[in-house]
């Protein structure tokens, strides 16, 4: 796990699927090395076919692919990892059943959730650090720092992360995760390159 920039997908930001796939391709080509497919409203069949396309794109760009929640889809398309929401399979169950088959990420929103997940996960996301329309009240930098000090695994800050506030979270996390911070930008490639430059990631 050498990446510091973790991109999370949202096809609803785009008018059609092809535009979504193209945007992800641009981000990966520009230097994103880890992508999470997170489309909770799709049926298993719909998600499977979309995930197959994403698997091709991530392999072509030497990037890791994570599937949110759906371990069956992750297995079917040979994903690198799974990202587990709090309502999903517990990380310890995934680790016990599938051993080291998957890199395991877990979404957390409190110190308690972070501690529990870190016993079994390879990394966690902690959110929302800053204000974001979808995530409720921001947790802030102090809470992120508390989480980082309390867990054994890597921590990715999530929620309202932008180029102009990235320096605030960097001392207290191992990387950053985002959706619109990259996919919502007009210049996706340029934005990725700027993030990686600040994070110290090589192209």
Residue list, annotated binding site? 36-40, 68-69, 107, 135, 160, 179-180
Look up residue 136 and give its DSSP letter: B
State the Cα torsion 165-166-170-171 to the nearest 10°.
-20
What CA–CA distance (Å, rounded) separates 145 from 110? 12
Task: Dig out the tokens for 58 from the structure.
Answer: 């991530």
Spatial CA neighbour of 106 closest among 93, 97, 98: 93
Total residue length of the chain: 203
Q: List binding-site positions for Mg(2+).
A: 69
The phi and psi torsions of 125 (rounded to 5 degrees) equal -105, 145
What CA–CA distance (Å, rounded) separates 143 from 106? 17
């794109």: which residue's tokens?
A: 57
């Amino acid at each position: 796990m050498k990446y510091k920039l973790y991109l999370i997908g949202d096809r609803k930001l785009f008018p059609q699927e092809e535009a979504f796939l193209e945007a992800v391709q641009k981000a990966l080509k520009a230097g994103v090395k880890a992508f999470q497919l997170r489309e909770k409203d799709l049926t298993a069949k719909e998600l499977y076919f979309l995930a197959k396309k994403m698997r091709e794109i991530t392999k072509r760009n030497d990037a890791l692919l994570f599937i949110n929640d759906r371990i069956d889809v992750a297995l079917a398309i040979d994903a690198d990892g799974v990202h587990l929401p709090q309502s999903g399979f517990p990380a310890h169950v995934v680790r016990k059943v599938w051993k080291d088959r998957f890199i395991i990420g877990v979404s957390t929103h409190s110190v308690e959730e972070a501690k529990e997940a870190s016993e079994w996960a390879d990394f966690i996301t902690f959110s929302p650090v800053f204000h974001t329309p979808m995530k409720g009240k921001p947790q802030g930098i102090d809470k992120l720092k508390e989480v980082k000090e309390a867990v054994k695994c890597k921590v990715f800050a999530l929620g309202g992360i932008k180029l102009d506030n990235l320096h605030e979270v960097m001392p207290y996390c191992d990387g950053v995760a985002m959706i619109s911070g990259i996919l919502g930008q007009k210049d996706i490639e340029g934005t990725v390159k700027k993030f990686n430059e600040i994070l110290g990631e090589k192209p």
